[in-house]
Amino acid sequence: MKHSKREIQTQKRECVFQQLFLSGFYPSDDQSPHLALFLDDTDLLGELELGLIEEMPPEEREELKTRCEAIFALLPDLDNQINAVSEGWKTNRMSRVDLSIIRLALYEMAYDEAIPLKVAINEAVELAKKYGGNDSPAFVNAILGKLAAKIPQQETAPAKDPAPAKSTEEADNAD
């Protein structure tokens, strides 16, 4: 069965979220053993209903591992940014689900130029609907909205190539 690029990206994001969530139960500076188990254990992947990941070529699994490692390396910085905008709900008081989703989305918003800011927020809210409590989507959206205001917006490419500039001679002849 062929999957759309969006389905694959959503599945990858979900896999990274789950790894971030699981890492909270095994805090250590080196998440590599847990990450390797998570990405290589097909029984575990089947239980988590991540069939797309099971089918994924090794180089794409390696990409997921690299993404997770990058987020783990940035956790103190991500948490500082989250704490700076979350009034009354510092990271140590947030649910692990909400915190994992916010960390992932913030990484995508601030450090992954391939993911548009609005897409990162929308996908985070969808994860919150699927995995969080009743208030999670609104909470995640509010925190990410505050974070988004502090992140320089990505420039969008023009929809089509602009018309080539006229030479001085062409401009003079046009008059």
What residues contact residue 46 under an 8 Å CB cut-off, 6+ apart?
54
What are 31's two structure tokens? 């998440």
Q: Which domain holds residue 98?
A: 5-150
Asked, for residue 173, whether it belongs to a domain, the answer is: no
pLDDT digits (tens, 9 = 90+) for 16-30: 898 888 877 766 665
Asked, for residue 165, whether it belongs to a domain, the answer is: no
| DSSP H or E segment with residue 147 | helix 136-150
Asked, for residue 123, whether it belongs to a domain, the answer is: yes
Asked, for residue 158, whether it belongs to a domain, the answer is: no
Query: Above 60 in pLDDT, residue 37?
Result: no
In the DSSP assignment, the letter for residue 24 is T
pLDDT digits (tens, 9 = 90+) for 74-97: 999 999 999 999 988 899 899 999
Task: Produce one character per residue of 131-147: b if its CB has 16 or more CB atoms within 10 Å, e if not.
Answer: bbeeebbebbbebbeeb
pTM for this model (two decimals): 0.77
Query: Above 60 in pLDDT, residue 106?
Result: yes
Helix (H, G, I), strand (E, B) or coil at 96: helix
Asked, for residue 107, whether it belongs to a domain, the answer is: yes
CATH code where residue 143 lies:
1.10.940.10
Asked, for residue 62, whether it belongs to a domain, the answer is: yes
Asked, for residue 171, whether it belongs to a domain, the answer is: no
Asked, for residue 81, whether it belongs to a domain, the answer is: yes
**How many domains does the chain contain in total?**
1
Burial tier of 156 (Cβ tally within 10 Å: 0-12, 13-18, 19+) = exposed
